[in-house]
Amino acid sequence: MIRSGTRERSLAELYADDAERADALVFRRRGALKGVSLATMGAAIGAAIPFSSRMPAGLVPAALAQGGQAGPRMLEFPGKDPLILQGDRPLVGETPETLLDDAVTPNNRIFIRNNGQIPEPAANPDAWKIRIEGEVNTPIELTVGELRSRFPVVTLQLQMECGGNGRSFFVPETRGNQWGNGAICNAAWTGVRLKDVLTAAGLKPSASHTGHYGADPHLSGATDRAAISRGMVIAKAMEEHTLIAFEVNGGPIPHINGAPVRLIVPGWPGSLSQKWLTRIVILDKPHTGQGMGGTSYRVPVTPIVPGSRNDGTDFVDMTSMPVRSVLTNVANGTRLPTGTRQLPVRGAAWAGEKTISAVHVSVDFGATWKRMTVTAPANKYAWQRWEGTVELPSDGYFEVWYRATDSDGRMQPHAAANWNPQGYGGNPVSRAAILVG
């Protein structure tokens, strides 16, 4: 029991009534228990903890991590399954991990990430124009119809992930939408290779970077500012998987996801994949548009003190996204029938420019890990599916911990590392609470 005011209250009562105050009473600091016995913790969870002897000291069980709160607000948007509402101005919706159970993410489960207002739909999608200008020999303007007819059309499964995916795992909290792991999709995008279009325009020897522009108005309504305008090194623009896409999963791109045409820059922050694309400028130096420089989509070269102020002078642009995994068939808070002793688990894993070499799962708080079966990617930059079965020795409370390792041997860490003011690159081991019986 914990004494609160003049009477003693159970841990469960405290968390149900006021999660933040419960944390303050129970924990001296994050991860350090203040005299709470395992029996009391088990009572709060509602079950015995079979692997309690293996719990890391001071671990907050996943079942209590949300403090007994009602759960996230959900977004009901036409053409989408319910998404976790991360913001309504601009509109941002995260896909729950259990809705990422398809090998190819369907349109109704592609996450929503806006930076400005939503433009009006194109009256005639094939007549939509894109201009290529700047450090090119021949500036060109092409309609979507001309893109289809003039250049080879390809279809590829490509991961697209918000640069801030995993932001909620940083301590202390950082600025921006507090994503979990669901700002990711792996859809089948159809379009033309950006390199083919740039080759047609003729890159000058001075061409070193791109700058991207879209039709979405600035959130304020200002006409002299872009909602977002990012750019990349020319080598990534010329990579054969970087597309100007006009279809997804065999049909038109949903308007909220950038129709009628958008960039897809796989493996790098999704902010480079400009929606409602209108113009690409080829530059002889790094782009300076909205979302470039400072701490925007940039991470420290040398670790900084978490929570400290920093203007990003010594940061570098975020390029390849870090290794990450999702568990897609078991939700946090799942209750299983009495006597369940085997639990099939499956999900997806990806690592930006790299591939996945292994996925491991633990049900004893990370004391031991079981290797899962991992499939090969459909093509470069497609995520990889994984699956396996874990053993549950008895009824009670368990946590499914899951982690991926990339082809360079980098493994998801146990805590979000390299803290930065805008919370990029947070990719710790994830966990889901389950109750058997």
What was the pLDDT predicted at 59?
85
Q: Which helix (H) or strand (E) holds 11?
A: helix 11-17
| 108-163 pLDDT, tens digit each | 999 999 999 999 999 999 999 999 999 999 999 999 999 999 999 999 999 999 99
Residue 33 has which token pair? Answer: 């228990």
Rg from Cα positions in the chain: 23
27 pLDDT more than 60: no
What DSSP element (H or E) covers 201?
helix 194-201
Asked if pLDDT for residue 25 goes beyond 80, the answer is: no
Burial class (CB in 10 A: 0-12, 13-18, 19+), 77: middle
Mean pLDDT rounded to a whole number for the chain: 92
Band the pLDDT of 204: cuts 50, 70, 90.
very high
Q: Where are the beta strands (DSSP E) in 205-323?
A: 209-214, 243-248, 251-252, 262-264, 277-283, 298-300, 315-317
Query: pLDDT per residue over 369-415, tens digit each?
Result: 999 999 999 999 999 999 999 999 999 999 999 999 999 999 999 99
- For residue 9, pLDDT beyond 80: no
Show the tokens assigned to 192. Answer: 């033309």
**How high is the pLDDT of residue 28?**
37
Closest by alpha carbon to 357, among 288, 410, 423, 397? 410
The dihedral over CA atoms of 138, 141, 143, 148, expressed in degrees to the nearest 10, equals: 20
Q: Residue 26: its pLDDT value, please?
A: 42
CATH fold group of domain 324-436? Immunoglobulin-like (2.60.40)
Q: What is the pLDDT of residue 3?
A: 39
Per-residue pLDDT reduced to its tens digit, 335-378: 999 999 999 999 999 999 999 999 999 999 999 999 999 999 99
Pairing status of strand 277-283 against strand 209-214: antiparallel
> β-strand 334-336 against 430-436: which pairing, if any?
parallel
C-alpha atoms less than 13 angstroms from C-alpha of 35 in its C-beta half-sphere: 6
User: Residue 58: its pLDDT value, please?
Assistant: 78
The tokens describing 261, both together, are 């045409």
User: What is residue 18's three-state secondary structure?
Assistant: coil
Res. 57 pLDDT band, cuts 50 70 90 = confident
User: Of 425, 171, 166, 161, whose CA–CA distance to 299 is shortest?
Assistant: 425
- Quote the pLDDT of residue 46: 82
Tally of CB atoms within 10 A around 30: 11
Q: Is the dihedral of CA 316, 318, 322, 328 positive or negative?
A: positive
**Secondary element (H or E) of residue 359:** strand 356-362
Q: Where are the domains of the chain?
A: 9-64, 82-317, 324-436
Instruction: Measure the CA–CA gap between 211 and 398, rounded to whole angstroms.
Output: 48
Fold for the domain defined by 82-317 = Sulfite Oxidase; Chain A, domain 2 (3.90.420)
Is 80 exceeded by the pLDDT of residue 12? no
How confident is the model over 77-112, as pLDDT tens digits? 999 999 999 999 999 999 999 999 999 999 999 999
Compute the distance between CA of residue 278 and CA of residue 262 in angstroms, rounded to an integer.
9
The yes-or-no verdict on residue 1 having pLDDT over 50 is no
Q: Encode pLDDT of 211-263 as tens digits.
A: 999 999 999 999 999 999 999 999 999 999 999 999 999 999 999 999 999 99
In this prediction the pTM is 0.91
Q: What is d(CA 421, CA 34) in angstroms, rounded to the nearest whole number?
A: 30
Confidence of residue 31 (pLDDT cuts 50, 70, 90): very low
Q: Does a cis peptide bond (omega within 30 degrees of 0) precede residue 260?
A: yes
- Quick one: DSSP state of residue 53? G
